[in-house]
């Protein structure tokens, strides 16, 4: 049992353990912090295996960017900080599926590798990573840039409801409450662009019930809609 084996076991235990705590915790900030630990342990695993660049990229991107983003989102959307009941679903289906998959994969790997001794690979220095990435995998690397750009633009559209806000239909329907958002008190009236009177060139069949009056309808609209996450006020 070398030092590397012991470290792998320890870091693996930390990663799995904190991962379990992420999904079983009932407080969202604690879940975020446990995620930091889990991803940090993953970075440690990469280091033990000699993949230096991947380890630091893991810390930078996942821990630094993603989890911090999560925590900012929790802060800015005023998600409940304390324990909330609907964060934790009934455990048994998840336990059975997750445990089953884990056991199955474990059995698979044990069957494939048994007690084979593998020598430690050469350290994955930046030079080697670069050679591999830009020598063999250039095309997916470049296509990923398109993916990231579209993700960026898409995130901005989703988070800024005033971009191309649709002219409201004559009878606004209340939006369905999103599953991950707990009911938030709407304290901040959103500077909604004033709905222009929509020219009705043709009578369209309106199955929804018409609102009583325009101002009342707008006020109703403002109060009923839960705001999407990543709300930035006064951008």
Partner 1 sequence: MTQAVNNLALLPLYAAAGTALLVLICDLVFARFQLVAGLLGATATVVCAFLAPARDTFCSADLCSWVGSSRAALLAALFAALTAGVLALSAGALREGYAPVGEFCFLLTCSMAGGVTVAYAGDLITLIVGLETLTLPLYILVGLRRRLAGGSSAAVTFFLISVISTAVALLGAALLYIATGSLHLSALTAGTGRFTHLGTVGTALLIIGFAFKIAAVPLHAWAPTTYDGAPIPVATYLSTASKLGGVIALAAVVQRLDTGPIMAVLAVLTMTVGNLVALRQTRMVRLLAWSSVAQAGYIIAPLVAGSDGVEAAFAYAILFILLEFVAFAVVVALRGPALDGGTLDDYRGAGRRNKWLGAALVLSFAGLAGLPPGLAGLFAKITVIASLIDTGWGWLAGVVALNAVIALAYYIRVAALLYAPIKPVGISVVDPELLHRATHPRLPVPAAVTAALVVGTAAAIIFGFAPQAIFTLLSR
| Cα–Cα nearest to 129, from 61, 52, 60, 43 | 52
Which C-beta is closer to partner 1: that of 6 or that of 150? 150
Residues 53-112 that bind partner 1 (CB under 8 A): 108-109, 111-112
Give the torsion sign (CA, 106, 112, 116, 120): negative
Looking at residue 98, the DSSP 8-state letter turns out to be: H
Give the span between the Cα atoms of 229 and 116, in whole angstroms: 49
Looking at residue 60, the DSSP 8-state letter turns out to be: I
Residue 134 binds partner 1 (CB under 8 A): yes
The residue written with tokens 């101002």 in the block is 215
Residue 123 binds partner 1 (CB under 8 A): no
Looking at residue 207, the DSSP 8-state letter turns out to be: -
State the minimum distance, in angstroms, from the CB of residue 179 to partner 1: 6
Residue 202 binds partner 1 (CB under 8 A): yes
Torsion of CA 97, 100, 106, 111, to 10 degrees: -130
Q: Which stretch binds partner 1 (CB under 8 A): 10-18, 36-44, 195-203, 212-220?
A: 195-203
Return all residues near 193 (Cβ < 8 A) that are at least 6 apart.
Answer: 162, 165
Give the span between the Cα atoms of 231 and 235, in whole angstroms: 9
| Cα–Cα nearest to 223, from 196, 197, 188, 195 | 188
Q: Which stretch binds partner 1 (CB under 8 A): 26-34, 59-67, 86-94, 143-151?
A: 143-151
Residues 3-32 that bind partner 1 (CB under 8 A): none
Size of the site for partner 1 (CB under 8 A): 48
Residue 158 binds partner 1 (CB under 8 A): yes
State the minimum distance, in angstroms, from the CB of residue 103 to partner 1: 13
Residues 203-222 that bind partner 1 (CB under 8 A): 203-205
Q: Which of 69, 81, 173, 216 binds partner 1 (CB under 8 A)?
A: 173
Q: Could you list the residues that contact partner 1 (CB under 8 A)?
A: 108-109, 111-114, 131, 134-140, 143-144, 146-147, 149-151, 153-154, 156-158, 163-169, 172-176, 178-180, 201-205, 225, 228
């Amino acid at each position: 049992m070398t030092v590397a084996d012991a470290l792998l076991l320890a870091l693996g235990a930390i990663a799995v353990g904190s991962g379990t705590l992420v999904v079983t915790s009932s407080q969202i900030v604690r879940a975020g912090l446990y995620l930091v630990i889990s991803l940090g342990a993953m970075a440690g695993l990469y280091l033990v295996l000699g993949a230096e660049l991947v380890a630091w990229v893991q810390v930078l991107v996942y821990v630094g960017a993603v989890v911090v983003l999560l925590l900012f989102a929790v802060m800015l959307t005023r998600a409940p900080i304390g324990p909330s009941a609907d964060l934790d679903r009934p455990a048994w289906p998840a336990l059975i599926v997750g445990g089953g998959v884990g056991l199955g994969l474990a059995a698979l790997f044990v069957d494939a590798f048994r007690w084979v001794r593998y020598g430690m690979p050469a350290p994955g220095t930046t030079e080697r990573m670069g050679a591999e990435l830009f020598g063999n995998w250039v095309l997916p690397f470049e296509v990923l840039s398109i993916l990231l750009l579209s993700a960026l633009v898409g995130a901005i559209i989703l988070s800024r409801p005033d971009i191309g806000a649709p002219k409201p239909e004559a009878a606004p329907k209340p939006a369905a409450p999103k599953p991950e958002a707990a009911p938030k008190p709407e304290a901040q009236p959103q500077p909604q662009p004033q709905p222009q009177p929509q020219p009705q060139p043709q009578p369209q069949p309106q199955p929804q019930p018409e609102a009583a009056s325009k101002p009342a309808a707008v006020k109703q609209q403002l109060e009923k809609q839960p705001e999407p996450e990543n709300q930035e006020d006064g951008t």
